[in-house]
Amino acid sequence: MAPHMDAPSPSGSLRSSLDGPRYNSLSFAPRQRALDGYRSSSESLTDGASTIADVHMYRPLIPGVYVPTMCFFEAKTEDVDTTTIAQHAVRLARAGVTGLATQGSNGEAVHLTHAERYTVTATTRRALNENGFSHLPIIVGCGSQSTKETIEYCREAYEAGGDYALVLPPSYYAGLFAPACETIIEYFHTVADSSPIPLLIYNFPGAVGGLDLSSDIIIKLSRHPNIVGVKLTCGNTGKLNRVVSATRRLTKLYDYDHPEFVVLGGSADFLVQTLAAGGHGILAGLANLAPKACLSTMRLYREGSMEEAQHLQDTLSDGDWTAIQGGVVGTKAGLQAWLGYAGYARSPLPKPTEEQAQKWKDGFKSLMELEKSLD
């Protein structure tokens, strides 16, 4: 887990802008914007059981377990394996997860072209729709180093059937950014103004050279009507609580089950801690392996069965440590060992040795035994 930092923002950056009224998110209609210059994808997405209404229906983000899905590749060619992508999405949906995410860290987004990203999301949307899960939202990773390309990714995500865009802050030229996070704020506001789908902020310092957005910055960004949530992979539950508390106060009629601004933990190893801090669930890679274990932990906590929830959390935390150490390579090795599919990550990531594969299989043993007991 990357170290977290939540120091106060530099002076003069935020205070005055935090005093204004919150936008009314219900009056904002990003889905109705014209996508000038972009081709329509409705024909390719509405083959078979899907309809245009199925592709672009409203799918709210509600409390639960969201899964950043893996991307799978053909063994010999490393071409995108759409069959396995579809089967994996349906397996997770049948387990009862709340929603899926494509193009995340676990989805090897950095290894994919624009066209491949589109294919992965469109394949996932079609698989869900054709198997009775058209209600499940898809969050699509859309972050890029330039504002222009990030907007392009958001528009392409919409075309492919995505419902929300998960956006990392840019970081490559962070040393040249304007003070008081002005560059970051402008970046998110510009993307949100232009995106046809709502944004979730992705705070993952380990993926952006240590850049860690403070709670002040996230709360400020939450006021934009087209920014509707955050994924906190920083592991800072104090920050998570501050964001939940502030955004709850900014909501006129707060409803935990239908939040205007959803706050998700970014890892399964602090699911109970996220819920205790008022968060709405997780968007966590470990759920690729054990969705039912994650769902059961959340259910038990919300039912008030704290001791049982903590017992499951112990197993989740142990399993997640294996996933954190092995990354996408180790998680795929675990899927392959325990469920018989996954293959390997795209090169240049290495294939695990037999010793490594066995180590990761063993590391997931207790987790997978728990998962199978919940069938």
Instruction: Output the CA angle 270-141-243, nearest 5 degrees.
Output: 45
Q: Rounded distance, CA 278 to CA 276, Å?
A: 5
Count the neighbouring beta carbons within 10 Å of the beta carbon of residue 336. Answer: 17
**Contact, 80 vs 72, CB < 8 A?**
yes
Q: Rounded distance, CA 186 to CA 345, Å?
A: 35
Which one is catalytic: 76, 148, 220, 231? 231
Q: Is 220 among the residues known to form the active site?
A: no
Nearest one of 205, 142, 157 to 7, comparing CA atoms? 205
Nearest one of 33, 264, 32 to 166, comparing CA atoms? 264
**Type of residue found at 99:** G
Nearest one of 279, 277, 282, 278 to 267, comparing CA atoms? 282
Instruction: Output the CA angle 323-374-231, nearest 5 degrees.
Output: 40
Q: Would you please indicate which residues are annotated as catalytic (active-site) residues?
A: 231
